[in-house]
Structure 1
């Protein structure tokens, strides 16, 4: 079958896959760093693990907010790239960099003033609190380096060159692992720093990634910064527009993060076996699901580029149809990975109690269905964000969390005392709750006429 003219105007499925696979592998590597750090620190004992967990919760919130702002910059850069405007590219990059640095400075000040008090409150012993605080203070260097690195990453991803950012992680991960081992245990002449050594290893890896991305930007894209003028009459006006676009994306992340934390506190009221089953499966849901989310993110980048250059509606429809078909293929692969995880759970984790294994298998029907509405919702959300409709996306996410998942979790656990399978099913119920508003908004179609650089 020959392609129509509309299909020739938009990225092919293989082109979209070329955008998506580096994003997916990068996300898996990012999640893997956390798992590896815990594995490397585990011989130091439970106090070190507890300290790292506390410090990681605070640091993870800072990095998550930073990532949300960077995703907004990525979309703005993709819109500018589609419009082939060097002025708009420069404006989006510098606005994103300024917002990232400002947000990081505020976050670092808050941690310096309140971080130790937060860790002291939740730590079981003074030793754990001291280790957690030391780790957190060094990890602030990671946040600082990432503030800059993620802007370069947003530039390359927004321009469709996702392999460069993947290579950045490919270089950084071995440095993180090797230097962390040496500094934790004092190998090869390095000082023995214990838990803090892991933070220094992460900082060195982030600095290396930042330097790599900055060098690539300088070598191939420094002409972008030489463009004259701004996309708005003044830089201040452009910065305000970028901020208005970015805040709902950051708000979405903060809402989802706090909602998940509230649910984890509620899960803790369940039996030990049920809580253990949830604690084991939820990280896998996030990790295995990254490939479906990477396809959606690649769709958002491509759609922002198409909207930026004013692509006609029939071509947008043709592209979105292909993207959706790809999303269902990705969802099927994610569902198969969930099946494999459940079947191999007793090999992955030693000495699981029979009650925990039984609980994991009750999740399987939900896991086989979940990727399909989740992937379709992600396509809708990324497309709407690409058109500038970030407030609507935020409202749908907030409603799904605080009108559906969180109150129903409290009701199921605290009042009805239902089986853990019903509680886990709320992950699917939340996606079904968001399904109508996302798809109705997309089918309305007015997003296709968005003037993404003039709004």
Structure 2
């Protein structure tokens, strides 16, 4: 029992900063949106189009860093500074290589991208101004995200949180000045928001690297890292690339869902738009627990401490269900007050919100169960299995079914939204089966194969 308490306490200590970090990441974009808003709809639209391009690319980088997090957790668990150094350098090289590729893509094909995403020529100059600056975020986050992954792997999740708390106000103040100007400086509008974000991200990167230098339990060494780095990079990339592919599959799936939702009556679509940000924010707490569980499991694999692996996984699942139940309860409370949060809409919109409420209240329970199993599989190095399950359930089954319901059957919002819940339910059996199978087969030899020593 004391071991269970220690495991839960350790994971909670890691999980809550991870959840807050995820919320603050969304807050960075909200700051820019609030500051740009007074400039008018055109500026907002321009920033939205430009940030959509970069956000997708940053999402891929973040997915790669999340994959590196499990590799780094195993290295930290092993207690070998050489392996930690090597895994960190591999993660940086992979993420920066992707960042440079995306940076070049934007630089070379910026105008075709702009014209593809917008037919309003009046927006082009603002989109160009924002995109020309914000693309440098790719290079900064290439280092920052892997550094954050290392902090998380070491269980020091509060330092990344501190980096966000430090840079968010800096971002707000600098961006406000650059957008609106002060005194003789007239401001540079949309470009100022991008430049302010770059300035803040640069400070965050420096802060993370400086703090990393003084971490006693991780003495990084470039000389040690270079030994056998090519093999480490190859194995590292082989493991984490399906995670980036998985992120793309899910992101494109969300885009497909959004397109299909736009084909619904305006009131029904408005209901989905209203409730989605709240549900996404609440889901971060379930994801954070699942991620912290994966870190702990990866550390155990790295230290070859496999005696309690089954028990730890089962405990993680039970606690995830408990956390999901709390989120479902909060979603229920949200459903009671959603009309008051968004006053002044039509009765049809409020009816649509009431119609889908049972579905989004149920969703956390199912999604939490599948999320923790997915993280367990990733901790075991089975990233391709997670990709296959997500691809089949979303693109082979759910998206075609949703398209049929919307475009052919003209189904109501309840049945269309229910397909997203159905998609999550479809994952339960294969996720559970794969996790049990690989846990049953996992031994010291399998753990050794994952070390990339």
TM-score (norm 1): 0.94
1:11 touches 1:319 (CA, 8 Å); kept in 2? no
Match of 1:33 in 2: 28
Cα deviation, residue 115, structure 1: 2.5
Give per-residue Cα distances to partners, 1:157-215, cap 9 Å, x unaligned: 11111111111111111111222222222136654121221111211111111011011
Provide structure 2 residue ranges, at least 5 long, that are not aligned to the other structure: none
Which moves more between the two structures, 15-24 or 350-359?
Answer: 350-359
**1:369 matches 2:362:** yes
Match of 1:406 in 2: 399
Match of 1:276 in 2: 270
Q: Describe how 1:200-349 pairs up with structure 2 within 5 A.
A: 200-220=195-215, 223-225=219-221, 228=224, 234-313=228-307, 315-349=308-342
Provide structure 1 residue ranges, at least 5 long, that are not aligned to the other structure: none
Match of 2:161 in 1: 166
Cα deviation, residue 321, structure 1: 2.5
2:235 touches 2:452 (CA, 8 Å); kept in 1? no
**1:355 matches 2:353:** no
Match of 2:17 in 1: 22
**1:126 matches 2:121:** yes
Cα deviation, residue 229, structure 1: 6.1
Cα deviation, residue 236, structure 1: 1.2
SS in 1 for 2:220: helix
Q: Describe how 1:378-417 pairs up with structure 2 within 5 A.
A: 378-417=371-410
SS in 2 for 1:224: coil
Cα deviation, residue 220, structure 1: 2.1
Cα deviation, residue 34, structure 1: 2.1
**1:141 matches 2:136:** yes
Cα deviation, residue 345, structure 1: 2.2
Cα deviation, residue 33, structure 1: 2.1
The partner residue of 1:179 within 174, 179, 185 is: 174
1:181 touches 1:187 (CA, 8 Å); kept in 2? no
TM-score (norm 2): 0.94
1:153 touches 1:165 (CA, 8 Å); kept in 2? yes
1:316 touches 1:448 (CA, 8 Å); kept in 2? no
Q: In 2, distance between residues paired with 1:71 and 1:11?
A: 24
SS in 2 for 1:425: helix
Q: In 1, distance between residues paired with 2:48 and 2:34?
A: 12
Match of 2:412 in 1: 419
**1:441 matches 2:434:** yes
Q: In 2, distance between residues paired with 1:188 and 1:296?
A: 50
Match of 1:453 in 2: 451
Cα deviation, residue 447, structure 1: 5.5
Q: In 2, distance between residues paired with 1:396 and 1:219?
A: 41
Q: In 2, distance between residues paired with 1:60 and 1:447?
A: 38
Cα deviation, residue 248, structure 1: 0.4
Q: In 1, distance between residues paired with 2:275 and 2:184?
A: 40
Say if 1:190 and 1:176 are closer, same or farther in 2 by CA, change over 3 A. farther
Say if 1:75 and 1:202 are closer, same or farther in 2 by CA, change over 3 A. same
Say if 1:57 and 1:447 are closer, same or farther in 2 by CA, change over 3 A. farther
Say how many residue pairs are matched: 447
Q: In 2, distance between residues paired with 1:140 and 1:324?
A: 39
Q: In 1, distance between residues paired with 2:183 and 2:148?
A: 33
Q: In 2, distance between residues paired with 1:124 and 1:416?
A: 31
